[in-house]
Structure 1
Amino acid sequence: MTAMQTWAARTVLSQGSVVFDVEARLLQELGERLVASPEVAILELVKNASDADAPECRVSLTSEKGRAALVIADNGAGMSEDDFRTRWMRIAADSKRNPTTKKYGRAVTGQKGIGRFAIRFLGAAVRLDSISVDPATGQKQKLEAIFDWRRLDRNVNLRDAKVPFRVTIAPSDSVTGTKLTVTRLKGDLGGVFSKALLTRVLQIVSPISAFDAGPFARLAGNGEESDPGFSVNFYGFPQSDDEPDLAKAVIGHAWARLKIKATNSKVKYIVTFRDDPEKVELEFDYPNEIKSGLYADIVFAPKRKDAFHGIAVDRREVWTWIRKNSGIGIIDNGFRIRPYGFTDDDWLYLNQDGAHNRRTWRSLIAEENFSLSEMEQARPGLNPALNVPTSYQVIGAVNVSSRAPAEQHEIDLIPAMDREGFLINLAYHQMVEIVRGGIEFLAKADKERLLKIEETLAIQNRAELREDLAETVDAIENDPRLASEEKAALVNHYSQLAVRVVEQEEYDRNARQRLEIAAGLGVVAGFMTHEAEKLFLALDSVIKKLKLKASTEKALHSDISEIQEARDRLDGYIRYTRLYTDSLRSDELRSFSALGQIEWVIDNFGRIAESRGIKTNIDCDDELLAPSIPVAMYSAVLLNLYSNATKAIIARGDDRVPPQILIAAKNDGRFHYLTVHDTGVGIPPQLRRRIWDPFFTTTSRVNSPLGTGMGLGLSLVKDLVQRVGGRAEIIESPTPFSTSIRIAIPRGSNEK
């Protein structure tokens, strides 16, 4: 027996169908619970004026019968009795579903048919006066209605909450439009219409016009007539600080400008720098759910030495304006949407990542289209991720056009019910991804430009130095007051300086070339460590098969041992590479045993030192803990120092001092110290400052089983240690050691 048959078989006491019943206080809920602030409530009424094809909306703070009143008036199409009944008085009216207005083809901004109840947030009573043209007779009619919310709230059933209205013939010279007069302002709202509130309202209804809106410009409508535009004017409010000329000057003289053009299938970034006609561009496929696409115009205004050079405005005014207007806002159908880009909002995670010195890209777009090399991640001076601006350094507008979905499950940018932002769905996440990716592309282009400027400046300085040295030599040779011996000594000294300048130029040029190669090698190293797993599986399979054959063919035993030894050596090299690459990526912070890590490095990588008769000693307490840093980073630093010490001893080539390495670790109240002493060739005093430079090496001609290296070891050690706030330094060596390199890493306040 089915459920319906079981139900029908029971004794029926009553049956029928029931409709939903709504209490009158729903109006209160809609008006007061779905609007979060006065400026959002005013915005909803201004949107109604735009949807009525009004060229102007006037918002006035006035008085009526001695009490403050708020008047919102427009010169749009007005409202007929039918409009009043079927649209204004119908909650969530479907007539709002039309995507554009009839006359000017504007995008309809009201989408849920409940925004008009925002009046409830502003005041307890409203009078509606609207003049429209009767399409049947051509006569102008005036509609008047009174909303007394307190009286309406007394009704239990919404159907009993009746609003009185009347329609009369209006004079033929009357201007069409709608006027809303809000009285009994809620919570003495008339007293809080301050300059700050007006500024917030203006930021929403009149976004900075100096920004390029691209295809979202208001005059791009496709209605029956060309759109004259839409303006919002305020009367009776405190004077605002709106300065359109200053905004235009600041935006026009900013350090850099980013424009983002996105359709529902492609994205294009365009970066331009002040006084530079060349553009930096990137275009790529990016299918997304933002049906109308987006267009962003963002300026980057960092506080740099030559920022706003040539601007005809006091710099203090410039920085004050930037501080007040910073942030990237979202303009939806011509109106700015809260909370994006307003104070304390961080929808693009710019401030969060800046506070944590994030060293990797956040967006997948950046990872896929302009990923960071291992070298860039390791060296802060090269890492553009550290160059991503905070929201206080950017001012901009992201233009979109949200709409009510045609189908219930359709995905697009959809305004939240409370008019604060958008629903968090796939389209919203894609918008964040597109804009964040653009900001990161800007950071990349900016870092490349800064490095280029730095390089050009260095070349100019060295050229000037060469000229100064040449002039000095000429002056010395022509100075009659100097004896011949003095002239010869001084000329020789300055000539040597000139040679050193030339050598430094050559070194820098070669170092830049090597950095480019090393960046590529970092990608290769990451690939090799990943693919090596497959190689080892294949080798282990071969060794296993050979061992089975060796039971009948004894001659294979020595070959198997040789293959196994080679496999283990290769595994050591791969683990070395993986250890370093892991140290760059790892973010796990925890305290750990210093002795355990020292012993692990020696056990896994000390074979070459041991085979050369180099003794490795450890001076570290069993209970000593290293600070809360990535374990892989600590091991990578130690391994670099250990391998450098081994190569230095091999390079010495004599046995006057027993070959030995001492690895010491200790803590004091502030730092954890890790020191590696060796009895190698030592470092001449004049070279001690240069050993930290990339590609500088003192063992380039050593025939070592560890290889000559690229001269990157100590440079990368220094960078890794500085990432955690530490330092690397050469200290005086105790007897019998020739070189001692010490790492100092800060300890946390809670670390014993």
Structure 2
Amino acid sequence: MPAFDHCCRWGPSSPEKAIQTMSAKNKASLFFKVDARAIIRLGRDSIRDNTTALLELVKNSYDADATEVEIEIFTNVAKPYIRIADNGVGMSEVELEENWLRIGFSGKTQSKRTASKRRKTGEKGIGRLSADRLGSKLELRTKAAQSSPVGLSVNWDNFDVDDRTIESVGVELVRNQAPRTPKNRRSSAGSGTELIIRELRQAWTAENLHNLYLELSTLIAPILSVSNFRIFLSSDAWKKKRSEVQTAFPETAQLELDAVFNGAKLNYSITERTARQKVIRPNEEISWKKLVQHADQPGGEGRSSKPKLGDVRIKLLFFVQRAPTFSESEFSLADIRRFLQLHAGIKIYRDGVMVKPYGDLRDPQGDWLLLAQRRSRDPAGVGRKTYKIAPNQLVGAVLLGRDSNPKIADSTSREGLIKSQEFFDLRALVLGAIGILESYRHRTYKDTKRIQEPTQAAREAVQAANEQVKALRSNLQALKKEIPSSALRPIEKISDRAAVALSALSTAEKSVQALIGHSSLYRGLATIGIASAVFGHETQASIDEFSSALQAGVAQLNRKPPQIRRALTEFEKASKYSDRVAAWGAFALARVQHEKRQKKRRDLKPLLSELLEHLRPVFDASTISLEYDLHEINARIFEMDIEAILLNLLTNAYHACRLEDRPRKVLVSLRAKSHDSIKGLELSVADSGPGIAEEFKDKIWEPLFSTRLDREGRQIGTGLGLTIVKSICDDLNGVTNLKDSSALGGAEFSAWLPLET
């Protein structure tokens, strides 16, 4: 039996002694008292489940420089128990009393690295209270090098009492009982810590243990190849009596992205594996501005162009679940599917230790990047430029450190991180890295299809030729029957068929023209909707000012005596703001008038000048200089189409300019230009924004693709503006183009249209 020498009191003793020695007359200070139940609230009540609690205790073993941890969970015995033992540095009696029993204190804030250079993970000083979530009684035995063994016996239920402070509830000190710990191959000191938890609060099923094993297998970042921290799990509730937890990634991912972010730029490489070869794309670099373009902060203020992030490493593994991919691998397709079922998701590791629940797709909060939402919103296949990878095809790790990213902090529940701006920047960074992988996957797929298409085309041509031969033979048989009766009959039939065909062609042409009109209308309406979303805050501001002025005017009239002159001043303000709102409404409706959907000859310079001057106040309000250089060009066009092109390019430039801190400027140009010896016109819009990343240049014209993200890293742009521009140009046999570096420093979009003679 252990020797119980005396009771230890929880918490520091110096304030109590000071209070006791002070007389009532000369008290200069008062001191906080902590209710005994605070232990329960910080431990048992604040931790979601048994697995989270046990992981916290294993993290303490990691911080103690242990090389091995033994976990035993035995429930089918007379006295069920959980045992966690490690061969770490252990504690002396002084450390036990001054550190372990001091709630909220963590020596890890003062000594951030262990002797073996591990970055310690816990800094809140409350992780030890996780034991209360597992069971009501705790036996702790520990031994430090060059010290005698020491321990504690804690009954957590003793703290569940009324009118008691935490210092008044004692815990028993145990001496001369050594912990039973794994051997430390680096030292013969026999140091370590053993926790035995009894009177368990929850039963452990085989499913619970399976989930625990999965959590433990990803606790330490697999990509770090940590070989000096091994975990062994034993239980009588499942078939595996004692099993070492494995953490390795299989080397069978079709694509692997390894990236390092230094606070300003992302440097990355991509490795591609096929059944026969391994290709490594060398290091490339992309700036933060081009990788992720955030939306404005609430209130219309432009956000800083600098991320609030330090060093971050990202590793992403993409798996194609097809048998040929693994034909020459030691893993079968079934193995990979089983692996993905267990480990799919992108996890966050801080200082090498996993942060729950990120990347655990079984958890509602596990898809922290909202990959499933992206995929459901745009389920395009890999052949489309807007292709999105499914969350169950990715296994990944995001590594960051407390020292380089101090603002990314744990929540008090030990599950998840505080949703700060730094966290949202991290999410946007990882989504940008995934975008690079998606773009690469799309391009390689298209290249493969390009190789396969000639073979497929030849096969289809042969099949079509066979069908033509069959039709020819059938026609010959029919002609043989018809010619003897009359030589003119076939000609008459041909004439009749031609008449029917011409009639059908005429009907089709009318239908096409009607569709062209409808298409133009829909594109015009969509453009107005997009422009309203971007410029609408100015209209909303006018509405707010109108309401405010109107209320102020009424208030002046209600005074005794009524202040007529002041009221008129306020009503004049209200009238001015209402005119602004009406002007935007008139502008929007004018864009979709019936005459604008009719093709006619127009002088484009005054048409576009009028539109630009209508929008100038909106640009001025955001300190964006709007300039234009329009040449005299007379063209037969749909007015709605040319206005839709300009409006969409302007909304795009407006948003891009607001992302930069430097002087904001937009330049619109219209000039005559030939393309492939065909006379035409070119309408271009250049901006001073951050430009477009190389990885996204092929995607930006596709439907639903947008680089606009909100402050939490979620896509908010419609992804339709540039698609409308391209759709109009395609219908009119025009050409769209993007120059990443314009004279203003940002992007320059242009639309070329042929001139009808």
- Deviation (angstroms), 1:298: 1.5
Match of 2:284 in 1: 282
- Deviation (angstroms), 1:218: 3.9
Match of 1:84 in 2: 96
Counterparts of residues 586-597 of structure 1 (less than 5 Å): none
AA of the residue aligned to 1:184: E
Counterparts of residues 369-380 of structure 1 (less than 5 Å): none
What are the Cα deviations for residues 30-69 of structure 1, in whole angstroms up to 9, with x where unaligned? 1123212111100111111111111111110136981211
Q: Distance in 1 between matches of 2:177 and 2:592?
A: 97
- Distance of aligned partners of 1:212 and 1:65 in 2 relative to their CA distance in 1, 3 Å threshold: closer
Q: Kindly indicate whether the alpha-carbon contact (under 8 Å) linking 1:130 and 1:144 is maintained by their aligned counterparts in 2.
A: yes
User: Are residue 196 (structure 1) and residue 207 (structure 2) matched?
Assistant: yes
SS in 2 for 1:252: coil
SS in 2 for 1:282: strand
Match of 2:192 in 1: 177
Q: Which moved more, 1:303-312 or 1:101-110?
A: 303-312
Q: Kindly indicate whether the alpha-carbon contact (under 8 Å) linking 2:179 and 2:194 is maintained by their aligned counterparts in 1.
A: no
AA of the residue aligned to 1:261: V
TM-score, scaled to structure 1:
0.54
Match of 1:18 in 2: 30
Counterparts of residues 316-715 of structure 1 (less than 5 Å): 316-342=334-360, 343=362, 344=364, 345-357=366-378, 383-384=384-385, 386-402=386-402, 411-462=406-457, 579=524, 582=527, 600-603=593-596, 605-608=598-601
Q: Distance in 2 between matches of 1:89 and 1:296?
A: 38
Q: Kindly indicate whether the alpha-carbon contact (under 8 Å) linking 1:280 and 1:445 is maintained by their aligned counterparts in 2.
A: no
Report the RMSD for the aligned CA atoms in angstroms.
5.2
Match of 2:255 in 1: 256
- Distance of aligned partners of 1:399 and 1:53 in 2 relative to their CA distance in 1, 3 Å threshold: same
- Distance of aligned partners of 1:430 and 1:453 in 2 relative to their CA distance in 1, 3 Å threshold: same
What are the Cα deviations for residues 317-336 of structure 1, in whole angstroms up to 9, with x where unaligned? 43233223211111233332
Match of 1:71 in 2: 83
- Deviation (angstroms), 1:347: 1.0
User: Are residue 266 (structure 1) and residue 265 (structure 2) matched?
Assistant: yes
Q: Distance in 2 between matches of 1:718 and 1:177?
A: 59
AA of the residue aligned to 1:113: G
- Deviation (angstroms), 1:113: 0.7
- Deviation (angstroms), 1:103: 2.4
- Distance of aligned partners of 1:416 and 1:241 in 2 relative to their CA distance in 1, 3 Å threshold: farther
AA of the residue aligned to 1:92: G
Q: Distance in 2 between matches of 1:240 and 1:422?
A: 34
What are the Cα deviations for residues 279-306 of structure 1, in whole angstroms up to 9, with x where unaligned? 1653134465444x22222111244584
AA of the residue aligned to 1:283: E
- Distance of aligned partners of 1:41 and 1:262 in 2 relative to their CA distance in 1, 3 Å threshold: same
- Distance of aligned partners of 1:64 and 1:470 in 2 relative to their CA distance in 1, 3 Å threshold: closer
Q: Distance in 1 between matches of 2:284 and 2:527?
A: 30
User: Are residue 145 (structure 1) and residue 152 (structure 2) matched?
Assistant: yes
Q: Kindly indicate whether the alpha-carbon contact (under 8 Å) linking 2:345 and 2:391 is maintained by their aligned counterparts in 1.
A: yes
SS in 2 for 1:133: coil
Higher relative contact order by CA 8 Å / sep ≥ 6: 1 or 2? 2
Residue in structure 1 matching 2:67, options 55, 67, 73 = 55
SS in 1 for 2:144: strand
What are the Cα deviations for residues 359-401 of structure 1, in whole angstroms up to 9, with x where unaligned? 9xxxxxxxxxxxxxxxxxxxx98753x3121212211222223
- Distance of aligned partners of 1:433 and 1:99 in 2 relative to their CA distance in 1, 3 Å threshold: farther
- Distance of aligned partners of 1:581 and 1:308 in 2 relative to their CA distance in 1, 3 Å threshold: farther
Q: Which moved more, 1:302-311 or 1:337-346?
A: 302-311
Q: Distance in 2 between matches of 1:702 and 1:453?
A: 34
SS in 1 for 2:149: strand
AA of the residue aligned to 1:71: R
What are the Cα deviations for residues 412-449 of structure 1, in whole angstroms up to 9, with x where unaligned? 32111111111122322222122110001111111111
SS in 2 for 1:437: helix
SS in 1 for 2:279: coil
Match of 2:561 in 1: none
SS in 2 for 1:418: coil
Q: Kindly indicate whether the alpha-carbon contact (under 8 Å) linking 1:255 and 1:299 is maintained by their aligned counterparts in 2.
A: yes
Q: Kindly indicate whether the alpha-carbon contact (under 8 Å) linking 2:84 and 2:195 is maintained by their aligned counterparts in 1.
A: yes
User: Are residue 109 (structure 1) and residue 121 (structure 2) matched?
Assistant: yes
Q: Distance in 2 between matches of 1:149 and 1:132?
A: 25
Number of residue pairs the alignment of both structures matches: 476
Match of 2:736 in 1: none
Q: Kindly indicate whether the alpha-carbon contact (under 8 Å) linking 1:255 and 1:308 is maintained by their aligned counterparts in 2.
A: no
TM-score, scaled to structure 2:
0.53
SS in 2 for 1:455: helix
SS in 2 for 1:321: helix
Q: Distance in 2 between matches of 1:387 and 1:110?
A: 40
- Deviation (angstroms), 1:605: 4.3
- Deviation (angstroms), 1:584: 11
What are the Cα deviations for residues 580-606 of structure 1, in whole angstroms up to 9, with x where unaligned? 994896797xxx9xxx89971434644
Q: Distance in 1 between matches of 2:77 and 2:382?
A: 67
Q: Distance in 2 between matches of 1:248 and 1:161?
A: 46
AA of the residue aligned to 2:142: S
Q: Distance in 2 between matches of 1:206 and 1:70?
A: 19
- Distance of aligned partners of 1:80 and 1:237 in 2 relative to their CA distance in 1, 3 Å threshold: farther
Q: Kindly indicate whether the alpha-carbon contact (under 8 Å) linking 1:52 and 1:101 is maintained by their aligned counterparts in 2.
A: no
User: Are residue 158 (structure 1) and residue 166 (structure 2) matched?
Assistant: yes
AA of the residue aligned to 1:393: Q
Match of 1:167 in 2: 175
What are the Cα deviations for residues 305-351 of structure 1, in whole angstroms up to 9, with x where unaligned? 84434344443343233223211111233332211111232211211
SS in 1 for 2:391: coil
Q: Distance in 2 between matches of 1:301 and 1:315?
A: 10
SS in 1 for 2:116: coil
Q: Distance in 1 between matches of 2:237 and 2:28?
A: 57
Counterparts of residues 122-141 of structure 1 (less than 5 Å): 122-134=134-146, 140-141=147-148
- Distance of aligned partners of 1:311 and 1:289 in 2 relative to their CA distance in 1, 3 Å threshold: same
- Deviation (angstroms), 1:272: 2.2
Q: Distance in 2 between matches of 1:56 and 1:18?
A: 46
Q: Kindly indicate whether the alpha-carbon contact (under 8 Å) linking 1:258 and 1:297 is maintained by their aligned counterparts in 2.
A: yes
Q: Once the two structures are aligned, what percentage of the paired residues are identical?
A: 20
- Distance of aligned partners of 1:411 and 1:76 in 2 relative to their CA distance in 1, 3 Å threshold: closer
AA of the residue aligned to 2:193: T
